């Protein structure tokens, strides 16, 4: 069974005869990009050159066009596939299903020539992700350690809104997060009724526009580089400024700061400085959520993705122990 799927050292998730997801693999002619996070676009330039087809959702394509350049994907044969839509290739059927992670994220089902169902979850959060039944399941393992169990409930959104409200009393609130997550926060705050100006630098702005085009509700967002918008910031009018996490040490150092992170398990909000808080808003399932997916997917064999984080071993161990399903972590890591 395990021969039907594997994960390479480079992080390519191999499904059936033809498909390599999320990293380049020269023996496979179809490349899938499950979503537009950097660790899932490994060797994409090589795949564009070498593969017969590169598959992704339209939303993922639009995000990559912004993050790289619209010319980048023109370097190969990109075909967009929507959720529920199947493609046939060499006797196998490839179908994408929604993964609740960032805009455009997909799970991949390959039905091989014998009708076996080989599934790769990609990155996902269990709440909004349909569970696919499988014969062989490859599952992400970001929070695949028993230490990664969230002890708090799902009221994080309300807590986030209260925190931002408190910050706005002092003026501008800076929110730092990763692409995709930032836009989710924008939508949460709009839904909570915040109507103060939202500002963002160029890249965040463009990705937000893609999210809006695909149905997210972000409302009016202003570009930070426009002179009149800079004035808003200088006057310290209450507003919310959204920056990529990579800028957290460079901007808004004297403002009220909210850092959005997934790696928080003890509490939903943690104060890290006088005016700085970390909010636990994750786009991955925790340890229990990963086990829940496996249980309901009913696979005969499980492979945990051990290439992107090192929690694959502990997740595979727990799947064998508590669910009684054969499971292994791939690639094998050398701990010597
Ligand atoms: Zn991701």
Predicted pLDDT at 335: 54
Alpha carbon of 101 to ligand 1 centroid (Å):
7
SS (H, E, C) the chain: CHHHEEECCCCCEEECCCEEECECCCCCCEEECCCCCHHHCECHHHHHHHCCEEEECHHHHHHHHHHCCCCHHHHCCEEECCECCEEEECCEEEEEEECCCCCCCEEEEEECCCCCEEEECCCCCHHHCCCCCCCEEEECCCCCCCCCCCCCCCCHHHHHHHHHHHHHCCCCEEEEECCCHHHHHHHHHHHCCCCCCEEECHHHHHHHHHHHHCCCCCCCEEECCCHHHHHHHHCCCCCEEEEEHHHCCCCCCCCEEEEEECCCCCCCEEEEECCEEEEECCCCCCHHHHHHHHHHHCCCEEEEECCCCCCHHHHHHHHHHHHCCCEEEECCCCCC
Predicted pLDDT at 336: 43
Alpha carbon of 260 to ligand 1 centroid (Å):
15
Alpha carbon of 39 to ligand 1 centroid (Å):
7
The parts of the chain modelled with pLDDT lower than 70 are 1-2, 154, 334-336
The verdict on pTM exceeding 0.85 is: yes
Alpha carbon of 181 to ligand 1 centroid (Å):
10
Alpha carbon of 124 to ligand 1 centroid (Å):
8
Alpha carbon of 135 to ligand 1 centroid (Å):
24
Q: Which residues surround ligand 1, an ion (CB under 5 A)?
A: 37, 123
- For residue range 305-316, list pLDDT tens digits in order: 999 988 999 999
């Amino acid at each position: 069974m395990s021969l039907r799927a594997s994960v390479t050292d480079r992080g390519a998730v191999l499904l059936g005869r033809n498909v390599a997801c999320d990293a380049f693999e020269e023996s496979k002619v179809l490349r899938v990009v499950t979503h537009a996070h950097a660790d899932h676009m490994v060797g994409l330039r090589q795949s564009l050159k070498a593969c017969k087809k590169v598959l992704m959702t339209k939303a993922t394509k639009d995000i990559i066009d912004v993050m790289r350049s619209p010319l980048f994907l023109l370097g190969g044969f990109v075909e967009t596939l929507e959720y529920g839509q199947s493609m046939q290739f060499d006797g196998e059927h490839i179908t994408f299903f929604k993964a609740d992670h960032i805009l455009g994220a997909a799970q991949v089902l390959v039905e091989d020539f014998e009708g076996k169902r080989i599934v790769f979850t990609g990155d996902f959060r269990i709440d909004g992700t349909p569970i696919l039944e499988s014969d062989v399941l490859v599952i992400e393992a970001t929070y695949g350690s028993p230490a990664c169990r969230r002890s708090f409930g799902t009221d994080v959104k309300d807590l986030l809104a209260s925190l931002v409200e408190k910050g706005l009393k002092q003026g501008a609130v800076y929110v730092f997060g990763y692409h995709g997550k930032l836009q989710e926060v924008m939508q949460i705050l709009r839904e909570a009724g915040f109507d103060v100006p939202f500002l963002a630098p160029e890249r965040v702005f463009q990705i937000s526009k893609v999210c809006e085009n695909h149905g997210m509700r972000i409302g009016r967002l202003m570009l930070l580089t426009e002179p009149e918008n800079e004035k808003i910031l200088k006057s310290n009018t209450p507003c919310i400024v959204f920056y990529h996490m990579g800028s957290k040490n460079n901007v808004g150092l004297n403002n009220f700061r909210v850092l959005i992170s997934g790696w928080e398990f003890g509490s939903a909000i943690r104060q890290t400085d006088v005016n700085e808080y970390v909010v636990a808003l994750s786009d991955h399932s925790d340890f229990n959520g990963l086990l829940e997916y496996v249980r309901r997917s009913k696979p005969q064999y499980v492979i945990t993705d051990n290439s992107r984080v090192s929690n694959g071993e502990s997740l595979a161990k727990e799947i064998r122990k508590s669910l009684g399903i054969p499971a292994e972590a791939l690639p094998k890591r050398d701990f010597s």
